[in-house]
Amino acid sequence: MNLLMVLTSHEELGITGYQTGIWLECFATAYYALLDAGADLTLASPKGGSTPIDPRSFASSAAVPNIERFRADSVARTLLSDALRLEQIDICDFEAAYYSGGHGALWDFATDPHCQRITAGLLAAGKPVVLSAHAPAALINLSDALGKPLVRGRCLTCFSNSEESAIGLDRALPYSLQDELIRLGARYSKAPDGLSHVVQDGTLITGQNAASGLNAVHGLLQLLRP
């Protein structure tokens, strides 16, 4: 079972002066759930190399068992520091993909041409794609064969406006992902802040936040089982 994990390379939180990147719980929860299920994992990002980790996610996820597992896992930390470049990725090599959440995705997932190529190609091939928290940004510039937004009419979720407001970042971001998906015609839904909420639309699975990661991975594994 060869699976691709797509990670952000973006590390600056707009003009705030703060760092961002992946949200560690989003990554670690999926990484270990997939690894324990027997998956062979390949990590890739737009720029490759070292993957930025939002420093706030170390403190916020301190009590999460997978974070402690990650801290003690030299193999995982090495993989995260030496990701492939997305331009090196051939979707024919993979059965599915998991896109990790974190605010960095709002910048490069939405605009990187290789991220767009991979996302569109996986979905067109009917391969399962999981997009966690901010990772649905990878969908906002994709179109279908008729030139219409790919998300139009599709059921999905993402990190919500109320969750952004709760952490004080709603004015620091380049756009509201929730609003953008709705504007493009997506059928958006959410749960109360911080609770797990996973939406499956065919082979497209979206999770609202870090708490949704494990359930999203379970949905992915069910699609992959014969």
Residue 61, pLDDT above cutoff 70 = no
Look at strands 96-99 and 40-45 and give their pairing. unpaired
Residue 226, pLDDT above cutoff 80 = no
Three-class SS of residue 187? strand
The pLDDT assigned to 63 comes to 62
| Cα-based distances in Å from 46 to 35, 37, 111, 186 | 23, 26, 10, 25
Cα separation of 64 and 160, whole Å? 22
| Cα-based distances in Å from 139 to 8, 67, 132 | 14, 28, 12
**Whose structure tokens read 């759930």?**
33
| Cα-based distances in Å from 216 to 90, 102, 165, 177, 200 | 24, 16, 24, 19, 9
Q: What is the number of alpha carbons within 13 Å of residue 38 lying toward its C-beta?
A: 4
Give the model confidence (pLDDT) of 132-173 as tens digits: 999 999 999 999 989 999 999 999 999 999 999 998 887 789
Give the model confidence (pLDDT) of 23-59 as tens digits: 999 999 999 999 999 999 999 999 999 999 999 887 7
pTM of the model: 0.95
Three-class SS of residue 26? helix
Domains contained in the chain, number: 1
Phi-psi region of 21 (alpha: psi -120 to 50; beta: other; left: phi over 0): left
- Domain assignment of residue 177, given as a range: 2-224
